[in-house]
Amino acid sequence: MTQDYSDVLVVGAGVVGCAIAREVSRYALRVCVLDQAGDVAEGTTKANSAIIHAGYDAAPGSAKARFNVLGNALFEDWCRELDVPFIRNTSLVAAFDDSDLATLHALKTRGEGNGVPGLQVLTQDEVRALEPNISRAVIGALFAPSGGICCPYGLTFRLAEHAAANGVVFHFERRVVDVTRARDGLWQVTTADGGVFRTRAVVNAAGVYADELNNRVSTQKFSITARRGEYLMIDKQYAGTFRATIFQVPTPLGKGVLVAPTVDDTLIVGPTAEDIGDKSDTRTTADGLRKVVESATRVWEQLPMSGVIATFSGLRAHGDRDDFVVGEAPDAPLFFNAAAMESPGLTAAPAVAVWLAERIGEKLGAQRSSSMTPCPAFPKPFREMTDAERVAAITADPSYGRIVCRCENVTEAEIRAAVRSRIGARTLDGVKRRTRAGMGRCQGGFCTPRIITILCEELGLTPEQVTKFGGDSRILVTCGTRHAETDSDAACQMSSVERQEVSHD
Amino acid sequence: MTEIDVLIIGGGPAGLAAAIAAHEAGCRKVLLLEREPALGGILRQCIHAGFGMHVFKEDLTGPEYAHRFVQRFHALGLSAQCNTMVLSVTPDREVTTVSPTFGLQRFRAKAVVLAMGCRERTRGALRVPGWRPAGIYPAGLAQRFMNLDGWMPGRRVVILGSGDIGLIMARRMTLEGAQVLACVELMPFSSGLTRNVVQCLDDYDIPLLLSHTVIDIHGRERLEAVTIAQVDDQRRPLPGTERRLACDTLLLSVGLIPENELSRAAGVGISAITCGPLVDESLQTSVPGIFACGNVLHVHDLVDHVTVESEEAGRQAARYAQEGQQARGSDIRVRDGAGVRGLVPQTVCAARVTDGVPLMFRPSAVFKDAAAVVRIDGEEVLRKRSRIMTPGEMVRLVVPKDTLERYVGAAELTVEVES
């Protein structure tokens, strides 16, 4: 069906794939990105803790340790360049007993070995001075000044925009089903819809599915388990309760349940850690949510259940090698893995991308482009503007004065811009993650109809075609009322009385 | 900066009634701000009847009820600014707004009336586990889809919660050809009005499953089914009672939350029980010159009561704008007694009342052949008997002015349900 040629083909449009695509776009190479979903950031990237880790957890000498510390150091510059929020809010690992305290000292030593700056073990008083709302059960903590928070999908949208501005082509709803080496030496990537993409180099950033891709081309097999984590999101009414990210002393399954502020002033609480057979199973469970609450209340005794605005779960790609798999597969030249990128995968993404792009550029004998188009400027969110900026924005475009999402103060101008951008929103969730419209305390209760209308206007859709996140996730059914009149939908069985009632409004 | 006498935030039934009352009390610089393109608030989408039985002694639809106030509002020459979102209110009543027509605006008001209404509780707040497909909507959003936008949200429907909007939507969706399988209520009683249970469920043979809840949600893209289960008296699902109902739509009618984000930022004290401002008998909040009425103060069942309450808030705001803060005598603290939740107002100044003071609350459970008893400093001053009291129907008692005048200097007023 499709025949498409590129120098570098990235499988996966999560934060890792988009970061690599952006970095590779610095070279004179034809780059494309394939993803099975209808948008970027639809897998692990959209549902994780959003923490930029300091780097004391990873085993010394591991890829995790190396890329974590390097990636952490890159985050400030990356986020500044892309104009996305990043806050070095610091982190604490809370200890509850003497054995935990001993673990803190071990973590500190390990962290120092990994090159993590400024680690200190704090006493209870010192912890309380930093975090007055922390439980008194916390008797000490490891303090890491380089810990931070970001918006993983916000970062990914901007990476994709920047990559696209530099010629990277994105193909959505393209699930890769096969990768083979053609007779002419090129890789041939086949998608579920029958597409064939020919490329010199493949980058495997397929998240929880990366093992399947690697194992098709390499005898150096690995396996990835989807490790599910459930979360609660707490309303920004509680902003400021904690400044730092507060971990608990880690367990063998991961870093445990954390409590952290987000860059959007909400608080995130979670995750659980549960290995799941089905790599697409992002359900939440009564048990999981209960565990999150039980564990989080060790740190945040007054965790306000009435302040919960959303629950969700995400899957991390846990590899059986217990480390990232980054680099060219030894027996499959020009097949590059960025796989098993569980925590601290987000933190490491910039460093992995820079490192891999250099390897790929070198292997393909490509020159760095003399000029890189800067990341296109995005309209500043209304909620972050000063009064003077607001006045100027509304003067230039009155739709900046029309608030669509009242909880997050998102304007019509921002929503239209999010749809019109290179990698634009096509769905309600796409708008939500790009603008925060529908992400606040009412969860779209008021703004959904308005956003449906804007999506229809911008994309030429009927309301019944608008989806939450693509596929069959339609918001409405075609047995419409007004629309049925023009569509003469036979399925619609509305009485004439009801029609009058509708037109009455 | 524009100077205003009484500035009203919200153009629903509460704001409209307050604006009209403030004007009739002699204020000439009254301005009403509304974020939607038209006045009327939530009534615009409430196309069912049942409004106005108390105020007009007529059975009106929501838009008809709103229209009467909108007409009166315009006939009096009152002004409203629609498409205008209030961004902030300061304790000294400086109000910042934004609109596409006027951009950023600042007002200084002698008095402010908060009339922003409420929002619906969400799935997230309930922590219903399962998948997160399309097809799960707050009942009021589905109502808006159908009645204002002309869109159909689904065909096979389960309703979680028996709040009034959910009950109304059970009937509405049935009339539009959808199949409503059940209304599932966690509590052993409906949280909506009895008349709505009868007219919207019973009349259409839609089962009301009390002491049941939704424990799982199925469907990756569009909703495919929900699992419901019976709960015990601790509201825990009972193993073995699970049932899977195939459906494409789940409507939530599980409570309304007064929208007090602006109020909080203005320093207004908020009740943990009503989630609305703490007010005195004049409906003044803890910030002098800021008043509250309607669903932002506490969630009502009947718009007629909203109207009466809001007229009082409008009159009191006008009086404040004209005369400034009144010297206050000592306050009587109002306290919820046994069987009573969310009494409004929370304080009464007996020396200052100009009329009888309405006390409103919800019974904390279902009581049969019960009486609501008002006591001041332990002495019974009022008793109202009812054949049945339920949490779904707000109780309103008016303590007469002359009674209160006998208790100037008293410390505490309590209301209790005796059964």
Q: Which of residues 390-449 of A touch B (CB under 8 A)?
A: 390-391, 394-395, 398-403, 406-407, 409, 412, 441-446, 448-449
Read off the CATH number of the domain in which A307 is found.
3.50.50.60
Q: What is the mean pLDDT of chain B?
A: 96
Which residues 6+ apart lie within 8 Å of A382 measured at CB?
A390, A393, A400, A403, A409, A410, A411, A413, A414, B98
Whole-number pLDDT of residue A503? 34
- Same-domain pairing of B250 and B280: no
The answer to whether the Cβ–Cβ distance between A476 and B45 falls below 8 Å is no
Confidence of residue B222 (pLDDT cuts 50, 70, 90): very high
Whether A500 is covered by a domain: the verdict is no
Whether A235 is covered by a domain: the verdict is yes
- Angstroms from B375 CA to nearest CA on chain A: 32
Encode pLDDT of B384-404 as tens digits: 999 999 998 999 999 999 999
Q: Select from A390, A443, A494 the Cβ nearest to the Cβ of B104.
A: A390
Total-model pTM: 0.94
The answer to whether the Cβ–Cβ distance between A309 and B125 falls below 8 Å is yes
- Same-domain pairing of B207 and B355: no
- Angstroms from A471 CA to nearest CA on chain B: 7
- Angstroms from A85 CA to nearest CA on chain B: 23
Q: Are B31 and B79 in contact (CB under 8 A)?
A: yes
Q: Are A319 and A339 in contact (CB under 8 A)?
A: yes
Contacting residues of A for B163, CB less than 8 Å apart: none
- Rounded CA-CA distance A491/A479 in Å is 6
Cα of A436 vs its chain's centroid, Å = 14
Whole-number pLDDT of residue A3? 63
In this prediction, residues B7-27 reach a mean pLDDT of: 98
The answer to whether the Cβ–Cβ distance between B100 and A480 falls below 8 Å is no
Q: Are B204 and B171 in contact (CB under 8 A)?
A: yes
Best probe of the A interface among B96, B97, B98, by most A CBs < 10 A, is B98
ipTM for the predicted complex comes to: 0.96
Whether A229 is covered by a domain: the verdict is yes
- Same-domain pairing of B114 and B263: yes
- Angstroms from A446 CA to nearest CA on chain B: 7
Q: Are B42 and B138 in contact (CB under 8 A)?
A: no
Which residues, listed in sequence order, are joined to residue B284 by a DSSP beta bridge?
B291
B387 has a chain A CB within 8 A of its CB: no
- Angstroms from B120 CA to nearest CA on chain A: 7
- Same-domain pairing of B115 and B128: no
- Same-domain pairing of B270 and B218: no
Among B201, B232, B254, the domain-final residue is B254
Whole-number pLDDT of residue B354? 85
Contacting residues of A for B264, CB less than 8 Å apart: 237
- H-state helical runs in A318-427: 345-363, 387-396, 412-420
Q: Which region holds residue A33: left if phi is over 0, alpha if psi is between -120 and 50, else beta?
A: beta
Residue of A nearest to B154 (CA): A477
Q: Are B342 and B256 in contact (CB under 8 A)?
A: no
The three-point CA angle A296-A300-A301 to 5° equals 105
The answer to whether the Cβ–Cβ distance between B100 and A468 falls below 8 Å is no
Among the listed ranges A249-253, B9-13, B69-73, B256-260, which one has the minimum average pLDDT value? A249-253
Q: Is the pLDDT reported for residue B364 higher than 90?
A: yes
Q: Which of residues 93-122 of B touch A (CB under 8 A)?
A: 96, 98-104, 119-120, 122
The answer to whether the Cβ–Cβ distance between A309 and B131 falls below 8 Å is no
Best probe of the A interface among B44, B102, B141, by most A CBs < 10 A, is B141
Q: Which region holds residue A66: left if phi is over 0, alpha if psi is between -120 and 50, else beta?
A: alpha
Which residues, listed in sequence order, are joined to residue B336 by a DSSP beta bridge?
B415
Q: Which of residues 145-174 of B touch A (CB under 8 A)?
A: 145-155
The answer to whether the Cβ–Cβ distance between A481 and B133 falls below 8 Å is no
Contacting residues of B for A409, CB less than 8 Å apart: 85, 87
- Same-domain pairing of B332 and B273: no
| A162 in catalytic set | no
- Same-domain pairing of A345 and A411: no
- Rounded CA-CA distance A262/A241 in Å is 12
Instruction: Map A27-58 to HEC letters.
Output: ECCCEEEECCCCCCCCCHHHCCCCEECCCCCC
The answer to whether the Cβ–Cβ distance between A505 and B147 falls below 8 Å is yes
The answer to whether the Cβ–Cβ distance between A442 and B140 falls below 8 Å is no
- Same-domain pairing of B128 and B250: yes
Which residues 6+ apart lie within 8 Å of A144 measured at CB?
A54, A56, A90, A91, A92, A93, A111, A116, A118, A119
Whole-number pLDDT of residue B351? 85
Whole-number pLDDT of residue B114? 98
B388 has a chain A CB within 8 A of its CB: no
Whether A503 is covered by a domain: the verdict is no
Whether A208 is covered by a domain: the verdict is yes
Confidence of residue B99 (pLDDT cuts 50, 70, 90): very high
Whole-number pLDDT of residue A123? 97
- Same-domain pairing of A352 and A228: yes
- Rounded CA-CA distance B160/B181 in Å is 11
Q: Which of residues 25-44 of B touch A (CB under 8 A)?
A: 35, 44
Q: Are A416 and A454 in contact (CB under 8 A)?
A: yes
Sequence-separated contacts (24+) of A99-106 with Cβ below 8 Å = A100/A139, A100/A140, A100/A249, A101/A139, A101/A140, A103/A249, A103/A250, A104/A140, A104/A141, A104/A142, A104/A249
The answer to whether the Cβ–Cβ distance between A501 and B47 falls below 8 Å is yes
Residue closest to A256 by CA, chosen among A269, A265, A267, A238:
A269
Contacting residues of A for B144, CB less than 8 Å apart: 449
Q: Which of residues 261-300 of B touch A (CB under 8 A)?
A: 261, 264
Q: Select from B99, B125, B149 the Cβ nearest to the Cβ of A308.
A: B125
Among the listed ranges A264-273, A398-407, B14-23, B328-337, which one has the minimum average pLDDT value? B328-337
Confidence of residue B350 (pLDDT cuts 50, 70, 90): confident
Encode pLDDT of A296-318 as tens digits: 999 999 999 999 999 999 999 99
- Same-domain pairing of A348 and A399: no
Best probe of the A interface among B83, B104, B260, by most A CBs < 10 A, is B104
Whole-number pLDDT of residue A482? 43
Q: State the residue range of the domain holding A260.
A: 3-363
- Rounded CA-CA distance A453/A445 in Å is 15
Read off the CATH number of the domain in which A463 is found.
1.10.10
Among B222, B254, B286, the domain-final residue is B254
Whether cis (ω within 30° of 0) applies to the bond prior to B133 is no
Q: Is the pLDDT reported for residue B219 higher than 70?
A: yes
Q: What whole-number percentage of chain B has pLDDT above 70?
A: 100
Contacting residues of B for A477, CB less than 8 Å apart: 152-155, 248
How many structural domains are present in chain A?
A: 2
Read off the CATH number of the domain in which B151 is found.
3.50.50.60
Q: Which of residues 269-328 of A touch B (CB under 8 A)?
A: 280, 282-286, 288-289, 306, 308-312
- Rounded CA-CA distance A16/A348 in Å is 9
Best probe of the B interface among A285, A386, A481, by most B CBs < 10 A, is A481
Cα of A278 vs its chain's centroid, Å = 20
A368 has a chain B CB within 8 A of its CB: no
- Same-domain pairing of B170 and B228: yes
- Identify the three-state secondary structure at position B51: strand
How many structural domains are present in chain B?
A: 3
Encode pLDDT of A84-119 as tens digits: 999 999 999 999 999 999 999 999 999 999 999 999
The three-point CA angle A453-A456-A459 to 5° equals 145
- Same-domain pairing of B333 and B283: no
Confidence of residue B272 (pLDDT cuts 50, 70, 90): very high
- Same-domain pairing of B245 and B148: yes
Whole-number pLDDT of residue A480? 45
Whether A359 is covered by a domain: the verdict is yes
- Angstroms from B324 CA to nearest CA on chain A: 31
Whether A155 is covered by a domain: the verdict is yes
The answer to whether the Cβ–Cβ distance between B151 and A463 falls below 8 Å is yes
Chains A, B: CB pairs < 8 Å: 171
Q: Is the pLDDT reported for residue B405 higher than 80?
A: yes
Whether A107 is covered by a domain: the verdict is yes
Give me the catalytic one of A53, A105, A162, A171. Answer: A53
Among B263, B293, B326, the domain-final residue is B326
Which residues, listed in sequence order, are joined to residue B61 by a DSSP beta bridge?
B49
Cα of B136 vs its chain's centroid, Å = 23
The three-point CA angle B77-B82-B88 to 5° equals 110
Residue A113 phi, psi (nearest 5): -65, -35
Collect the ranges in chain A with pLDDT lower than 70.
1-3, 252-254, 479-505
At B96, list the tokens. Answer: 């910042």
Question: Counting every residue, how long is chain B?
Answer: 419
Q: State the residue range of the domain holding B89.
A: 1-120+255-326
- Same-domain pairing of B246 and B141: yes
Best probe of the B interface among A501, A503, A504, by most B CBs < 10 A, is A501
- Rounded CA-CA distance A26/A33 in Å is 15
At A9, list the tokens. Answer: 């083909």
- Same-domain pairing of B261 and B250: no
Find the helix or strand (DSSP H, E) in which A403 lies. Answer: strand A403-405
Contacting residues of A for B134, CB less than 8 Å apart: 467-469, 473-475
Q: Select from A312, A391, A400 the Cβ nearest to the Cβ of B132.
A: A312
- Rounded CA-CA distance A460/B207 in Å is 41
